[in-house]
Structure formats: C-alpha cells, structure tokens
C-alpha cells in the first residue's frame, strides 16, 4: 500500500496538468500542484472540493455527476475536465487547452464579471447553446439554481415563449427566410432590439436587456455569452418619466408664463413663453445666467433669493434681450432631481396688468379726491345735504342735515321714514314733504321743491327753509350709480330781507310822502292865501326843513348804494376831532329843543380821515339820540382818549333798544320793531351807513342800551400825530 501510494503520489506530481484523487463526497485524497493552482482558494489535501466557498458551476455539476458514479468530461474554453471513476472515488484531471488570445480575454473578462456582484445574469453556453455557466445574478433573476439549468437547458427556455415566436415570425418576414432562434436573436440584436420578455422559474415575466456574444476558438464557434439585466422597473420608470416629461412639456409650452429651469442661477431649460417674454430663442437662454434677464437694480435681490432658497413669489423688473424692461411676477420653486437641487422659476409678464392697475389706482384716487372735495364742499356748505340711494337709504348727510334731521335714538335709515318722526317740523309740512318725496322716489317727478319753516322755542327767529330734491341717476361723478340729492336751504335771512324790503317799501313811501305832502300843503297855502311876512317866513322855514329831510333821505339811499357797490371813496385829511365834534354839537344846539352836553377830551385829538364822513356819523348818531328820546331833553356827547384811540360816545335818555336787536341794529333797513319806533319813523339806513364809514377808517362802533332808560352809541378811531 505504501509503495502504491508513493507511486501514485509521484505519478501525480509528474503529470504536467492538474490531477487529483477525490472521494465521492469531494474530499481531496491526493492532488498535484497544477491541480491546486487551478483554484483561487488555498486548497489543501483533505479539503473538500465541494465545500469551497466559491462553488463553481463545474464543481457543482461534478458533484451531481459523481453521485451517479459515471465518467464525465467537460470542456471550458481554457481547459478540459475529466472525471473518471476510480476505486471509491474519482480521478479528476484538469487539462489546460491551447490558448486563443481573444477567447482568453473574453473568458477572463467573463470570469471577472462572474465574480463581481453585478446585478446581472451571466449565462454561458456551448456551441449547441446548452447552458454551461449560470451565475448568482442569473439565479436571482430567473429563480433557477445552476444545477437545474446547466447542461439541461438552452437560454431560449428562459425567454417568454410567445414573444419569442412572434418576434421570430416578424424577423423571418422581414428577412424573407427561415431563422433559427439563434439566428433570429443575432438579427434582432444587430438591429439593436435588446429588450426582451423573459420568464422566471415561477412563470412570472420581466423585461430584460439582452446582450449576446458568440465565442470563437481558433475560428471555431465554441459557445455564447448571454448577459441579461432586468429593466422592467427601469422601463416602467422611463415610461413614467416620459409621460411626465411629455406632460411637463405640454404644460410648459402651453402656459403663457415663462418657465426657466436653473441650477444656481444658470439656465438649464426654458419654454416657448420665455422666448416670447424675453424675446430670445429658448435654446440661446440655456447656459446663461437668470439674472441677465433681470433689470440691473433688482439683480442683487434676486441672487439673494436664489442663494437663500427663498420660494415666496415676488414682483421684479425683468430685462428683455433687446434691452427693454417688463414687470414680472416670479413664482420660484425648488425641486430635487437625482440628488441635484434645481430651481424652477415661473415668470409672468404683468406689465399690462400693472398698467391697468396703475390706471385703476389713478382713477380710484381721482374719484376719491373728487368725492372728498364734494364731501368737504357739502360739509362746508350752509345748506343741509342728504344723499340717498334709489330706495331712499341715506348715504351721506352733512353736519347741517344732521342738525336739521336729528332724532334721539336710532333713526331710520330711509329719508322717507325719518321725515314723519321730525317733531320740530310742522305736521302740515311733514305730510307735504312726504308727498313730494314719494313722487320723486317713484319716478313721477325728477325734481321737487317746497318751502317750509320750523318754529323756534323762543317764538322768534323762525327758521325758513326751501327743500329741493333731485334724481341723481346721471350724476355719476358723485361716485354713486343712482339715488337722490336733497338740499335743505336755510332761507331765513332771505326771508328776513324780504320782510325788511317789504317794510322798506312802505317805510320809504311813508318817509317820502310825509315831507312831500307837507311841502305841497305849504305850497298850496302860499299860492292861495295872502300871508303875513311872519307866517310866510315860518312856512318857508318848515318847507326848507321838509326839503332837507327829503334830500337827506335820498342821500342816505345813494350813500348806501355807493357803499354796497364799493364805489365809496374816502378823502383822508388831517383835522382836529375836538373841533369837528364841537361844531356839530353847536349846530344841533341852534336848531333843536334838546340840551346837548359836550364833554371834550383833556387834550386835542387829531385824525387822518374823511372829515365830511365822520361828520355824517356824528350827525346821524346825535339826530337818532334826539329822535328816539321824545320824553327827554338831555343828550350827552363825550370824547375820551385812551392809549392811541379816541372814543366818541353819544348818550340819550330815550326809549332804549332791546338786547336781542343789538346784533342786527347796524344792518341796513333794520329797525327795531315796536310801536314807538314805528311812530317815530325812519328808514333803517343811518346806523348801517355809520358802521360802514367807521369800519372803513379802521375803527369800530358799539351800542349799550336799556329799554326805557336810554342808549349810548360809541365809536372808536385811531388818533394821529398832532401835526400831519
């Protein structure tokens, strides 16, 4: 046994190729060096060939064959393997084959690939297309263990059979000849038809990308390499992406907004609308900076937004390729695509919208301004204004209207509901007003008006109004579509003037008639009678007085007329006030029955004024004092000097003036309305002429009075230097 085993051992070592004696379970009994060198792992005697970490398809196939106890031979492109049953085990020889460089390279590459963890099926066949190698990737992809396919199946068994036959039919038709599956595959792959449907062991299908390489050895076809990798998920993804891309394109091209894709500001893609908006072909935008399409002053801000990943929309001034500008609204959005952060900027040209907005804004401001102006005019106006909607609801009331139509508590908003509640109005006026409003509101009339008056608690000063209502449907400038404008004009003053004028007519005719009838009476007497010289003189004096009354009266009329028209001219002279007053007092002393006291100032006072006009004031005031004190004979005239002013006062002990009349006393035609005054007679012009003259000289005139006790009129003027 010893010798035999030695012999065996030496024999083994002598052989130029690898030989080993192995037991059926794969345990190496003896092996020579070339054999050991065939295996990448550090194989030792007693190691088990079938327990190697990297089980090759060959060793796996070997173990299967050995179980059956049959001899087996297998050829690889680089070696031939023989397994010959021997005693309890096998003699295994690995005989290297002469090398074909091309095949070796391919083979080595294949081997290298077989051992890398590529997610791909690698299948090798012999020339008859019988599978000879089947890698881990193939097992994973197809679900077959290597021993199920090696030397049992051709790769065609791995294809989905229906598609395979259909494609063969198609290619046969195309080539106009019969094709074997192998030929058909070559034709198909030549044409780039790489995607095929495959079938797994569990009969499920997947789409794989196929590569097929024939392997030649010394010009002889020895087999094929097949590579298959699953692309179904990829295809699905591609389909989805294509779909999405299409959708995106369609969307991007159909929107009127410019859509720019950019990475850190560099444009990657732009749509059709971007061409229109920025006036540059989209492909010319690619590669340029987004901020080139932003007006210079705004670039820093846009860059800041890009750098800080700000995604809030903003408005900015854009710059077109031709250098013109536009207003845009930008909606930025960041998207992460394959680990890369991109920014999509959707930009809308809002120049037109902005223009319209600005126009509207201007229009709005103009309307608001107009409305403000109108409202302030309405507020400032003396009239009461009420604006209502077409149903009568109040839109606006100015202060006067509020005062006029004030109601305690919550007032109804409609004017026609408010009117009946106004207790200050007379019932008769209220019902007439409602009737007028009704015919206006129901469209029967476009304008209504009426006069009414509101009695006051003190029984005097009754307030007179004129109501005027008009439809506003064409008066859009007020800022309302339709409605009504009601104006309540306070015409109390007018009414008073009317009354005064009416009185004036009777006063004046009375005032004129009295001296005229007395004059004509005396003239008749003198014509028809023989008169004594005494009588004659008395009559003539009276006639002269009456004529003077007439002249004064007419002069007063003319004066007030001139003053009102602004034609009155004053001549300014330097004169002594004391002398003037003394002169006038003297004259009254000569003609009248009243005793006139004159209390002069302590020192001479001078004025620069129209002497004749100041004299007129003095005459008016002294004649009033005499006229309105029928039961007293005292009149006091006094000059006082205070600071730079002279105060001249005329005091009487006559009928006096009620306090309520003080305010109107100096108005033209105003006369205190009582029996005494009526009896005394007058035009109501004197005091208004006095006031006009004094105020024109920069002075003032005042009254103090008590009814039944007397009155004091005082005027004040600035004094001048003693010498002009």
Q: Which residue lies nearer to ligand ADP by CB, 392 or 682? A: 682
Q: Which residue lies nearer to ligand ADP by CB, 62 or 625? A: 625
Task: Find the binder of ligand ADP among 77, 146, 682, 699 (CB under 6 A).
Answer: 682
Does residue number 686 form part of the binding site for ligand ADP (CB under 6 A)? yes
- Is residue 278 within 8 A of residue 285, CB to CB? The reply is yes
Task: Find the binder of ligand ADP among 126, 349, 546, 652 (CB under 6 A).
Answer: 652
User: 156: which 2 tokens?
Assistant: 């065609």
Q: Which residue lies nearer to ligand ADP by CB, 205 or 589? A: 589
Q: Which residue lies nearer to ligand ADP by CB, 103 or 694? A: 694
Does residue number 185 form part of the binding site for ligand ADP (CB under 6 A)? no
- Is residue 61 within 8 A of residue 70, CB to CB? The reply is no
Does residue number 655 form part of the binding site for ligand ADP (CB under 6 A)? yes
Q: Which residue lies nearer to ligand ADP by CB, 100 or 692? A: 692
Q: Which residue lies nearer to ligand ADP by CB, 519 or 665? A: 665
Q: Which stretch binds ligand ADP (CB under 6 A): 90-98, 439-447, 558-566, 686-694?
A: 686-694
Concatenated DSSP letters for 596-655?
EEEE--SS--EEEE-HHHHHHHHHHHHHHHHHT-TT--EEEEEEEEETTEEEEEEEE-SS
Task: Find the binder of ligand ADP among 158, 387, 585, 665 (CB under 6 A).
Answer: 665
Q: Which stretch binds ligand ADP (CB under 6 A): 199-207, 327-335, 344-352, 655-663?
A: 655-663
- Is residue 31 within 8 A of residue 19, CB to CB? The reply is yes
User: 214: which 2 tokens?
Assistant: 């024939």
Does residue number 146 form part of the binding site for ligand ADP (CB under 6 A)? no
Residues 6+ away with beta carbon under 8 Å from 683: 504, 507, 508, 511, 553, 556, 557, 669, 671
Helix intervals (H) in 86-127: 101-115
Q: Which stretch binds ligand ADP (CB under 6 A): 303-311, 356-364, 397-405, 675-683?
A: 675-683
Task: Find the binder of ligand ADP among 22, 347, 648, 687 (CB under 6 A).
Answer: 687
Q: Which stretch binds ligand ADP (CB under 6 A): 27-35, 195-203, 447-455, 653-661?
A: 653-661
* Residues 587-646 interacting with ligand ADP (rule: CB under 6 A): 624-625, 628
Residues 6+ away with beta carbon under 8 Å from 162: none
Q: Which stretch binds ligand ADP (CB under 6 A): 277-285, 322-330, 403-411, 671-679?
A: 671-679
What's the min distance (Å) between Cβ of 363 and ligand ADP?
57
What's the min distance (Å) between Cβ of 506 and ligand ADP?
13
CA 344, distance to chain mean position in Å, is 25
Does residue number 93 form part of the binding site for ligand ADP (CB under 6 A)? no
Angle between helices 611-627 and 577-591 (to 10 degrees): 40
CA 659, distance to chain mean position in Å, is 62
Does residue number 553 form part of the binding site for ligand ADP (CB under 6 A)? no
d(CA 185, CA 163): 12
Does residue number 273 form part of the binding site for ligand ADP (CB under 6 A)? no
What's the min distance (Å) between Cβ of 704 and ligand ADP?
11
Does residue number 469 form part of the binding site for ligand ADP (CB under 6 A)? no
Does residue number 515 form part of the binding site for ligand ADP (CB under 6 A)? no
For residue 123, which of 99, 97, 151 has the smallest C-alpha distance? 151
Residue carrying the six token digits 């999405």: 244
What's the min distance (Å) between Cβ of 645 and ligand ADP?
23
User: 385: which 2 tokens?
Assistant: 């204004």
For residue 385, which of 400, 371, 395, 370 has the smallest C-alpha distance? 400
Strands, DSSP E only, in 402-544?
447-454, 463-471, 484-490
What's the min distance (Å) between Cβ of 624 and ligand ADP?
4
User: Could you give the 3-state DSSP secondary structure of residue 134?
Assistant: strand
> Site size for ligand ADP, by CB under 6 A?
21
Does residue number 671 form part of the binding site for ligand ADP (CB under 6 A)? yes
Does residue number 30 form part of the binding site for ligand ADP (CB under 6 A)? no
For residue 635, which of 626, 646, 644 has the smallest C-alpha distance? 626
What's the min distance (Å) between Cβ of 590 and ligand ADP?
21
> Helix, strand, coil: what percent of the chain each, to 5?
45, 25, 30
Does residue number 657 form part of the binding site for ligand ADP (CB under 6 A)? yes
- Is residue 467 within 8 A of residue 433, CB to CB? The reply is yes
Other residues' Cβ atoms within 10 Å of the Cβ of residue 686: 23
- Is residue 465 within 8 A of residue 436, CB to CB? The reply is no
Residues that bind ligand ADP (CB under 6 A): 624-625, 628, 652, 654-657, 665, 670-672, 677, 682-688, 711
């Amino acid at each position: 046994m010893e010798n035999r085993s030695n012999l065996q051992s030496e024999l083994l070592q002598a052989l130029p190729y690898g030989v080993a004696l192995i037991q059926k379970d794969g345990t190496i009994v003896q092996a020579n060096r070339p054999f050991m060198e065939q295996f990448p792992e550090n194989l030792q005697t007693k190691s088990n060939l079938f327990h190697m970490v990297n089980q090759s398809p060959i060793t796996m196939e070997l173990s299967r064959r050995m179980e059956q106890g049959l001899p087996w031979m297998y050829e690889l492109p680089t070696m031939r393997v023989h397994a010959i049953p021997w005693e309890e085990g096998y003699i295994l020889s690995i005989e290297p084959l002469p090398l074909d460089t091309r095949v070796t390279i391919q083979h080595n590459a294949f081997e290298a690939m077989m051992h890398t963890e590529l997610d791909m099926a690698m299948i090798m066949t012999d020339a008859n297309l019988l599978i000879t190698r089947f890698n881990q990737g193939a097992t994973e992809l197809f679900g077959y263990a290597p021993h199920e396919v090696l030397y049992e199946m051709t790769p065609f068994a791995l294809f989905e059979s229906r598609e395979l036959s259909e494609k063969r039919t198609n290619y046969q038709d195309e080539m106009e000849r019969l094709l074997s599956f192998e030929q058909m595959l070559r034709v198909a792959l030549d044409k780039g038809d790489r995607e095929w449907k495959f079938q797994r062991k569990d009969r499920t299908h997947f789409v794989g990308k196929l590569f097929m390489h024939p392997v030649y050895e010394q010009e002889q076809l020895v087999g094929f390499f097949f590579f298959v990798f699953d692309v179904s998920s990829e295809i699905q993804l591609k389909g989805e992406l294509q779909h999405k891309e299409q959708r995106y394109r369609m969307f991007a091209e159909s929107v009127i907004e410019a859509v720019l894709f950019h990475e850190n500001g560099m444009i990657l893609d732009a749509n059709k609308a971007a061409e229109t908006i920025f006036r540059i072909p989209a492909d010319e935008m690619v590669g340029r900076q987004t901020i080139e399409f932003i007006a210079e002053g705004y670039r820093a801000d846009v860059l800041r937004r890009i750098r800080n990943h700000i995604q809030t929309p903003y408005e900015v001034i854009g710059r077109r390729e031709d250098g013109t500008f536009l207003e845009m609204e930008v909606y930025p959005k960041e998207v992460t695509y394959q680990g890369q952060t991109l920014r999509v900027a959707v930009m809308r040209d809002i120049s037109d919208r902005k223009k319209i907005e600005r126009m509207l804004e201007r229009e709005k401001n103009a309307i608001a301004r107009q409305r403000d102006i109108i409202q302030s005019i309405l507020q400032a106006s003396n009239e009461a204004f009420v604006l209502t909607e077409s149903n009568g609801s109040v839109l606006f009331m100015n202060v006067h209207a509020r005062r006029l139509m004030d109601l305690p508590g919550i007032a109804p908003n409609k004017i026609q509901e408010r009117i009946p509640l106004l207790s200050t109005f007379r019932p008769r006026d209220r019902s007439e007003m409602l009737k007028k409003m009704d015919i206006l509101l129901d469209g029967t009339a476009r304008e209504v008006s009426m006069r009414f008056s509101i009695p006051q608690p003190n029984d005097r000063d009754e307030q007179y109004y004129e109501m005027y209502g008009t439809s506003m449907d064409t008066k859009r400038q007020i800022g309302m579509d339709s409605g009504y404008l009601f104006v309540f004009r306070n015409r109390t003053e007018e009414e008073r003037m009317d009354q005064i004028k009416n009185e004036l007519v009777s006063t004046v005719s009375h005032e004129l008639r009295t001296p005229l009838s007395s004059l004509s009476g005396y003239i008749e007497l003198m014509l028809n009678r023989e008169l004594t010289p005494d009588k004659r003189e008395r009559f003539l004096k009276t006639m002269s007085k009456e004529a003077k009354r007439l002249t004064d009266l007419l002069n007063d009329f003319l004066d007030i007329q001139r003053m009102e028209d602004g034609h009155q001219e004053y001549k300014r002279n330097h004169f002594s006030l004391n002398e003037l007053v003394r002169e006038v007092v003297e004259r009254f002393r000569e003609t009248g029955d009243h005793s006139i006291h004159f209390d002069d100032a302590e020192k001479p006072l001078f004025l620069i004024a129209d002497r004749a006009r100041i004299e007129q004031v003095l005459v008016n005031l002294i004649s009033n004092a005499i006229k309105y004190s029928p039961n007293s004979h005292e009149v006091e005239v006094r000059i006082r000097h205070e600071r730079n002013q002279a105060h001249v006062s005329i005091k009487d002990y006559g009928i006096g003036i009620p306090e309520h009349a003080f305010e109107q006393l100096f108005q033209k035609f105003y006369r205190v309305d009582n029996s005494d005054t009526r009896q005394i007679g007058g035009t109501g012009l004197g005091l208004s002429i006095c006031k006009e003259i004094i105020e024109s000289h920069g002075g003032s005139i005042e009254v103090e009075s008590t009814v039944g006790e007397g009155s004091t009129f005082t005027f004040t003027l600035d004094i001048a230097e003693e010498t002009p």
